[in-house]
Each structure stands twice: as C-alpha cells, then as structure tokens.
C-alpha cells in the first residue's frame, strides 16, 4: 500500500513464523528508542502496543518519503541488533510491515481501543494501564511522551470518555467471549 502524507494508518507486523520479536524488557525499550529516532520525526503517533511477537502503531504521516525511509531503517536496525544480540540469522519479521488506512472517525476510536486491549485479550495483564509497552498508560499520566495525546482525547470527548470507551469495549469483549460470538 502506498503511504500518503496527512493520512491515518494502522502499522503492524509480527515475528517470522509468529515467533517472538521481543525477548526481554531491554528489547522493548530499544525498539521504542529506534522508532523515536528513525520514524517519529515524520509522523504523529496516537497509539501503540508492543506484544511479545508483534507490534501495532496508529499514526498519521507528515512526510511519506521520509516516513518510508525511516520505517525501513528502523526495521533493519532493530532486526540487526536482535540478530546480533541473540546470535540469530535470517528474518526477524514476517516480511515488510503491514499498513491499513484508517479513513473514518468511528474507526479512529475503535483502532485505538483495539491496540490498547491487545495485552488484556492475550491475558498478559488484568488492567490495560499495567502493561508497560502500550501507550494506554501515557494517556493517564502527565509525563512527557511521544504520543499526540490531545487529538485522541478530543476524539473521545476528554480523558473520562477515553477511559470509559476503553472499559465499555472491554465489557463488549467479555460479552463476546461469553456468547462465543
């Protein structure tokens, strides 16, 4: 998919053969630092979640050429570092990262809750705010972050709406499990 400036995207990928891409806490931090170095200058990030074998970013692109080059350098730098550290060879990721354009406002809110709920659905935590490698906790904090928080909070009608919508979506997930939908 061609990337365009001023457009919203869900960017994601997983480990080759669904294998791990993060092996220890240091890997998650390094991944985010490399993202900040190579990609963040060319986009606005609204949500992210790093799972043991995959990742998600919801963002808008400022400059498509610099973004694409940054993503390429980011993915290569992370893969090389992991392969070197863990004495691996071959592809870390399942091909090039995947891209889905997010074109509707209702999908904006849904993709954000979907991304933040990944650790909950996978059973890694009981509360979204407890997961260290997601942007959810950044919305609840006053600490500096790479997340463009205000635009997202506006979509949800403020912090209370943001939190309530995430809780409501979790309740929907629980109901779906119960009903086996």
pLDDT in tens, 128-157: 999 999 999 999 998 888 899 998 999 999
pLDDT in the model for residue 179? 44
Model confidence band, residue 170 (pLDDT cutoffs 50, 70, 90)? low
Model confidence band, residue 100 (pLDDT cutoffs 50, 70, 90)? very high
Instruction: Name the token pair of 173.
Output: 């997930």
pLDDT of 108 higher than 90: no
Share above pLDDT 70 across residues of the chain, in percent, rounded to a whole number: 93
More confident residue, 46 or 109: 46
Q: What is the pLDDT of residues 38-64, one digit of tens each?
A: 999 999 999 999 999 999 999 999 999
How confident is the prediction for the chain on average, in pLDDT? 91
Q: Are 62 and 42 in contact (CB under 8 A)?
A: yes
CA-based angle 107:60:78, to the nearest 5? 110
Give every CB contact of residue 64 below 8 A, 6+ residues apart in sequence: 2, 3, 4, 5
Give the separation between CA 103 and CA 78, rounded to whole angstroms: 30
pLDDT in the model for residue 1? 77
Model confidence band, residue 178 (pLDDT cutoffs 50, 70, 90)? very low
pLDDT in the model for residue 172? 60
pTM of the model: 0.91
* Residue 138 CA, distance from chain mean position: 13
Give the separation between CA 41 and CA 79, rounded to whole angstroms: 20
Cα atoms in the 13 Å half-sphere on the side-chain side of 152: 30
Q: What is the pLDDT of residues 9-39, one digit of tens each?
A: 999 999 999 999 999 999 999 999 999 999 9
* Mean per-residue pLDDT, 58-73: 96
């Amino acid at each position: 998919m061609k990337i365009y400036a001023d457009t919203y995207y869900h960017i994601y990928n997983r480990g080759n053969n669904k294998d791990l891409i993060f092996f220890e806490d240091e890997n998650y931090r390094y991944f985010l630092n490399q993202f900040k170095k190579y990609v963040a200058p060319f986009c606005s990030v609204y949500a992210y979640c790093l799972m043991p074998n995959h990742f998600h970013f919801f963002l808008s692109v400022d400059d498509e050429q610099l973004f694409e080059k940054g993503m390429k350098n980011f993915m290569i730098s992370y893969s090389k570092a992991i392969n070197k550290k863990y004495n691996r060879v071959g592809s870390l990721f399942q091909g090039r990262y995947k891209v889905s354009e997010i074109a509707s406002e209702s999908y904006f809110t849904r993709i954000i809750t979907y991304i933040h709920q990944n650790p909950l659905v996978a059973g890694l935590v009981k509360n979204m705010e407890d997961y260290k490698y997601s942007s959810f906790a950044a919305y609840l904090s006053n600490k500096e972050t790479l997340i463009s928080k205000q635009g997202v909070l506006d979509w949800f009608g403020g912090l209370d709406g943001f939190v309530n919508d995430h809780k409501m979506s979790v309740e929907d997930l629980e109901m779906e499990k119960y009903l086996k939908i």
